[in-house]
Amino acid sequence: MPTGLPLATPMERDMLPSRLPEPDLYLPGTGEPSLRWGIVGPGWIADEFAKAVRSHTTQRIVAVASRSLDRATAFAATHGIDLALDSTEQLLARPDIDVVYVATPQNSHLSIGLAAIAAGKHVLIEKPITVSADEAQILADAARAAGVLVMEAMWSRYLPQTSVIRKLLADGVLGKIRVVLADHGQAIPANPQHRLHRPELGGGALLDLGIYPVQFASMVLGTPTRVTAVGSMTKAGVDAYSTVVLSHEGDAQSTLYTSILTRTPIAAVISGSEATLSIDSVFFNPTSFTLSSLGDPSGPVLTWSDPTGLMSFDGLSWEATALARFVGEGRTESPVHTLNENVSILATIDEARSQIAAS
């Protein structure tokens, strides 16, 4: 079954709606519990996450763990965290931690996630949630058995713009969706020690960068019925670049591009039978989009810009508040990015990587 949004019956319309929907916001201080967080892996994304959480949420980061106590201590000092630890085990053993944010290299996401689940913690795991669909299924099964919430840190799902886009799709404003286009390419230094050039760390373009276009297509059109991928591998054995074409039910198609060799526009488009929605770069960051009617190409264009003032990595705060809200509601997974969809997205990436490796 598709995992994306249900598409309403295409509407007969000669013009765009008079106004765009209001976003549903994961606003802090709206009844969600103030959870006590521990961070595992004090790297650059954890640094941005900690800044966003401290500035824009009611959540509390109380501990950080690293294999290097010096790194943990420096991170704690920067972010006003009371406790620095030199092992994940020490952090997980503490009863005063409710949720663990895992920001380590992706090859360790499964093991740390399972350990956190076994310790009774809720878990937010950086994308990709694991390095394969099989691993994601193991994690999902463990989370459901333990009754804790496990969520991928796919921050774009919790941004205000995503709420508005989902409403437009559900309301059938774009009509029958025909095409999704999205790309994410970065010029990653050709350093053999860089994590994206190391297969043992889960490197390559698709898992780390391409997951954004793939999850976007999944949100709009659901699980693909066919995956076709062309690209190339590096000498180190990771996928360097690829074009992935996904076929979906109802004759819809997604064309997705990713690369670690060059920066691309990093934009996205959804084209339907009634209207086209174009998301500005960087499409998975807080940004703006335009909606234009196919029935009247010379007519007005509706433009949406984020009204909250939270731009760039400040937007990481939305996912932290969302997780706390879900915990307060007694949920064990995200309703807008389910564990089943995590598995489906990684299955798509698994197939694409397999085809590229075999070509």
3-state secondary structure of 80: coil
Pairing of strands 150-153, 83-85: unpaired
Q: Which of 155, 171, 196 is the last residue of a domain?
A: 155
Asked if residue 118 and residue 184 are part of one domain, the reply reads: no
* Domain presence at residue 72: yes
The pLDDT tens digits for 56-70 are 999 999 999 999 999
Q: Which of 122, 137, 155 is the last residue of a domain?
A: 155
Pairing of strands 36-40, 60-65: parallel
Q: How many domains does the chain have?
A: 2
Q: Residues 34, 61: contact at Cβ < 8 Å?
A: no
* Domain presence at residue 195: yes
Give which of 145, 151, 85 is closest to 120, Cα–Cα. Answer: 145
Asked if residue 176 and residue 303 are part of one domain, the reply reads: yes
* Domain presence at residue 86: yes
3-state secondary structure of 22: coil
Asked if residue 292 and residue 202 are part of one domain, the reply reads: yes
How far is it, in rounded angstroms, from Cα 89 to Cα 247? 44
Instruction: Specify the amino acid at residue 141.
Output: D
* Domain presence at residue 301: yes
pLDDT at 1: 38
Q: Which of 155, 182, 201 is the last residue of a domain?
A: 155
DSSP string, 276-324: EEEEPSSTTSS-EEEEEESS-TTS-EEEEE-SS---GGGGHHHHHHHHH
Asked if residue 207 and residue 79 are part of one domain, the reply reads: no
CATH number reported for the structural domain that contains residue 55 in this entry: 3.40.50.720
CATH number reported for the structural domain that contains residue 302 in this entry: 3.30.360.10
The answer to whether the Cα torsion of 152, 329, 314, 269 is positive or negative is positive
291: containing domain: 160-309+334-358
Read off the tokens for 245: 């074409």
How far is it, in rounded angstroms, from Cα 217 to Cα 249? 13
* Domain presence at residue 218: yes
How far is it, in rounded angstroms, from Cα 277 to Cα 275? 7
Q: Is 51 a catalytic residue?
A: no
Q: Which ranges of the chain have pLDDT less than 70?
A: 1-15, 295-297
* Domain presence at residue 210: yes
pLDDT at 295: 67
Asked if residue 262 and residue 347 are part of one domain, the reply reads: yes
At residue 352, φ and ψ (nearest 5 deg) are -65, -45
Which of 127, 167, 176, 235 does the annotation list as catalytic?
Answer: 127
Give which of 357, 335, 348 is closest to 162, Cα–Cα. Answer: 335
The pLDDT tens digits for 288-299 are 999 999 866 677
Asked if residue 203 and residue 88 are part of one domain, the reply reads: no
**pTM, full prediction:** 0.94
